[in-house]
Structure 1
Amino acid sequence: MNWKLVLFAWFCLPVLAQGQDAGADRIFLKNGEVIIGEIVSYAPGDTLRFRLTTGKMIAVPDTEVARIKQHVPEKPLMEELAMDADEEPEKVRKLPRNGRFNSTFISILTGENRFGNFTIGTGIHNITGLILSPGISLGLGIGVDNYARRAETIVPVYVHIRMAPYPNRILYFGGSVGYGQAFKREKFNVFDARGGLMAHPVVGFQIPGEDGAHVLVDLGVQFQKASYTERLRNNDIEFRDVVFKRATMRVALNLWSRKRGRK
């Protein structure tokens, strides 16, 4: 009888050992994402070769890696739900790597008016586009900018590009180029108005939030050409070609969705 027990234990040992060694490697990236699978090869300062749970092989630059956890055992669902109260689950803040985005900006415009006095304007913009890669987004935008309290309101339509060149993708650089349409305002004796070129370079940072949304904050300088024909109080006609130059501060809610079939 004893030799049968010994033989049974002998055959069970490999299975038990495999169960103890089973587990996945987890790579925590600086942008907040977590990759699960198996490390194939890795040397600090070099590229990490990784096999995803789907079997696909990827290469991750060492500069994008925040930390690594190896052979993390898969927990049953009930055990996961019954985790210790003092062990809080790690909250992963993600930034998109691909897909579509929609950004709604509220902006404050500051500068000097045509009389040399300090003035504050406001604007609201919406940009919709594609996330071409983890660090590059391209979209089309439209907005309304009020440069002064009188007739100087312009609606620009433009192309926007946003680039985040650093591994954590928190800091970004962006720019918009397009055409802004001015409007006549007879209430203010402006009976003809024409728009012109608009350019707006910015630098800002992204605040990762819940999956599908994060916040953008940036600073920039906005240039807008326009021309106005205005009747003065003495009935003289004044033609004005202006270039608005405004320092901008903007806050936006950026909504995004991944491209189907990709993580």
Structure 2
Amino acid sequence: MPRLGREATQDELLYDARWTKDVDNLFIDLLAEAHVGGEWRQGRPSPHVFHYCHGVLDADLGATFTLKELQERFDFLHKRFRVFSWMLRKHGLRHCVQSNILTAPVAVWNDIFESDPFSVAYQHSGDPQVYEATSNAPLVLDQNSTNENDVAWLTEQSYVFSLSSITNAPLNGSIGNNLLLLPNAREREPSSEGSVNTHTHVNIPRRGGGTPLRIPRPPRRPAPSSCKGSSSDPQN
């Protein structure tokens, strides 16, 4: 599949004049709250969940959407997280739990972009923090690991997997608890989505300031001491 014909930012791919980042964040929070409260488990929520979201979006942000529009946005989120989950499972892509940074060889990253152009949405969110990779990571887990304990722990720390019900995967209570790390569920962790390019670390916070970087390649910076690691395949 050819690369995208022009450069695009995450804002262009995920948001528009009506469906802003603030609306998106609040909608996701409301869906998560409904899930934790037992209102829905997997698949598309029932209409009363969307009616609740409609009321809160209007009251809190003055954003009015029809039930059909909210259902379509949910389907879009389903695709969004399905693609990201697919990215996380690519062989050679690794995840640092402490900083929520992913690393992968350039060939793997090129394959991700070429296999599903929608994946470029995860390279941009505000100002991505880009770091050169080094070889002494304190902890980098392989998404393809067969160690069930490691995979379960990684799942509990990952925002993407904590909303895995959007992708029709089961969500257990421990993950649901990790979803609400702060007293207010709408004040989520600033670093909740991550993506990488070439042999670099990229930390992409959900809430970022400034102008989004553009593809194909972000600039590099010295590696942070909190999470350094090789982007080569893990040793078994």
TM over 0.5: no
Larger relative contact order (Cα-Cα within 8 Å, sequence gap ≥ 6)? 2
- TM category (shorter chain) comes to under 0.3
TM-score with structure 2 setting the length: 0.18
In terms of fraction of residues, the more strand-rich structure is 1
Name which one, 1 or 2, has greater alpha-carbon Rg: 1
